[in-house]
Amino acid sequence: MKVLGIESSCDETAASVWADGEILSNVIASQAVHEQFGGVVPELASRAHHKTIWKTTSQALEESGVKIEEIDAIAVAQGPGLMGSLLVGLSFAKGLALTYKKPLIGINHIDAHLYANFIEHEETYPFVGLIVSGGHTRLVYVDKAFNHELLGDTRDDAAGEAFDKIGKLLGLPYPAGPEVDKLAKEGDPKFHDFPRSMINKGLDFSFSGLKTSVLYYTQEKGDEFVQNHLNDICASVSAAITDVLVAKLKRAVKKKKVKHVMLAGGVSANSMLRKKMSQFAEDQNLNLMIPALQYCTDNAAMIAVTGALKARVGDFDDLSLKPFARVS
């Protein structure tokens, strides 16, 4: 089975080839145009995808040593994401499928973050998965491939969104989330006790209150204080977010009585979260699956491996496949 994966849901144009159980290539073209605006501009993102998608896909095929004629199926991110960006990738994938007479597979971008773990980890069920990204923070129970039970979801700001917005508030460059993590490594997580919203309640997540708390705190302390203690503030913010994530995961694991847990999404690259998750898994004797760093953020390898999982059971789509901006 050889699957070409294409990802264009936000501001990364990516292509990857999965063949016979391994990733042979994983090419990502990032868009620097958004830095000056401090966030992704949808129109600029879709234009950038138009310019790079053919080159990115060609490079992925070349690096893999697999010709497009040898591909068995084409998997493409169908959503959620920016509609303009998704349309570029979906239209391109449809064109390839039609030209080369290849089956087409639409992929849920959030599902793909989960199954990115199976690039390097053995496929294992059942598990509880924590998906943490810029737009989503959710807990799911999975007893077999694509059979998901939603346990908890984001009520307002997702964890990644909170990291980015708080980082921007602190004057950090876009994307701010990784910068917060970098600075937090040199800071004291106990410097200030920011609120852990809903940490003792249910399995849903809420981080908008944390963002407001940081805003009021920095306004009260002033710019000079913030700059002098930037590492400590970032560490305290990271501690507040990761404490909630781990507490909710613990509750979900206890509820579903699983021995396998999974971390996925862009924020799974956060060093403090990875450390706390590893400690939790060790303490509870759990099998923890976390993607390698290159498979945490948006990439096409996760699209390709998810496509391979769907292809093995004959779950294909036709050319009427449509993008979607949000998941229900």
Sequence-distant (≥ 6) Cβ neighbours of residue 117 within 8 angstroms = 262, 264, 289, 290, 291
Amino acid at 269: A
Binding residues for substrate: 131-135, 164, 177, 181, 270
Residues placed in the known binding site? 109, 113, 131-135, 164, 177, 181, 270, 298
Domains of the chain as residue ranges with CATH: 2-115+296-311 (3.30.420.40), 125-290 (3.30.420.40)
277 within 8 A of 290, measured Cβ to Cβ = yes
Each residue's pLDDT, cut to its tens digit, for the chain (328 residues) gives: 999 999 999 889 999 999 989 999 999 997 766 677 777 788 888 998 999 999 999 999 999 999 999 999 999 999 999 999 999 999 999 999 999 999 999 999 999 999 999 999 999 999 999 999 888 899 999 999 999 999 999 999 999 999 999 999 999 998 899 999 999 999 999 999 999 999 999 999 999 999 999 999 999 999 999 999 999 999 999 999 999 999 999 999 999 999 999 999 999 999 999 999 999 999 999 999 999 999 999 999 999 999 999 999 999 999 999 999 988 6
Q: d(Cα 17, Cα 304) in Å, to the nearest integer?
A: 6
| Residue list, annotated binding site for Fe cation | 109, 113, 298
CA distance 47 to 59: 19
Token match 């998901």: residue? 148
pLDDT tens-digit series, residues 220-249 = 999 999 999 999 999 999 999 999 999 999
Between CA 182 and CA 176 the distance in angstroms is: 10
Quote the tokens at residue 211.
């963002």
DSSP 189-243: TTSS----TTTTSSS-B--HHHHHHHHHHHHHH-HHHHHHTHHHHHHHHHHHHHH
Sheet with 22-30, strands from edge to edge, namely 22-30, 12-19, 2-7, 73-79, 104-108
Give pLDDT tens digits for 169-228.
Answer: 999 998 899 999 999 999 999 999 999 999 999 999 999 999 999 999 999 999 999 999
CA distance 45 to 50: 9
